Structure 1
């Protein structure tokens, strides 16, 4: 009986430690991805704004980051982080940053501003899922 009780206690401890380690590694991953995103923004911003050219109209819009969303999506080796930007005239736009890892370092490989349709299609097809 004592052996069974001791085994159950060890099993519960192992499960708790595993869940704790998973939560910690998720927090570490989130922090690492946010740092990669900040590095990318630091390199991409000009005069405190993220310039964006609309390839249909040729219009240049300067966007300013206002809010990072907490949800992170995963597609195989790619992560997607989202945020809200605001233009000089106050128009809000959603931006999706596609991030992956190479040589032990994460970097943004694609940025989609006000173009949520491709990400929605990936989610509906089950290719992009919420990281939890």
Structure 2
């Protein structure tokens, strides 16, 4: 009887795992497309402009080909990638994303400000998906 239960357990894992893997791959693809669309929509002459409201300094950030990291926070996601300054310095870009009826939408953007994400990680509020 024990062997029967073990074999059923492994059969169940085998039948569930590919579906979960396909769903995760699909989710990651949708999130990646949403991130790229958002970044593209923010570009002005190839750069994302960011104004420091305290100093009045305008910074330009350029998309670069890098890894992306995806984390879940409750029902939302945090997508992380890198941008580069004109001199080539890499800076983090964190996009906070939620699911809507027609896909995913970015509701908060942090450029070169990793502190909010670090606080969420320290508080064990996020789970890394990729």
**TM band (smaller chain):** 0.7 to 0.9
Deviations 1:79-109 (A, max 9, x none): 0111111111222211101111111410111
Aligned-partner SS, 2:23: helix
* Distance in 1, Cα, partners of 2:9 & 2:90: 50
* Distance in 2, Cα, partners of 1:44 & 1:70: 18
RMSD of equivalent CA atoms: 2.0
Aligned-partner SS, 1:88: coil
Question: 1:4 and 1:121, CA in 2 relative to 1: closer, same or farther beyond 3 A?
Answer: closer
1:80 — aligned with what? 78
1:128 — aligned with what? 126
Give 1 or 2 for the bigger CA radius of gyration. 1
Q: Structure 1, unaligned stretches of length 5 or more?
A: none
Match for 2:53 among 45, 49, 55? 55
Moved more, 77-86 or 9-18: 9-18
1:99 — aligned with what? 97
* Distance in 1, Cα, partners of 2:60 & 2:74: 32
* Distance in 2, Cα, partners of 1:98 & 1:68: 18
TM-score, length-scaled by structure 1:
0.86
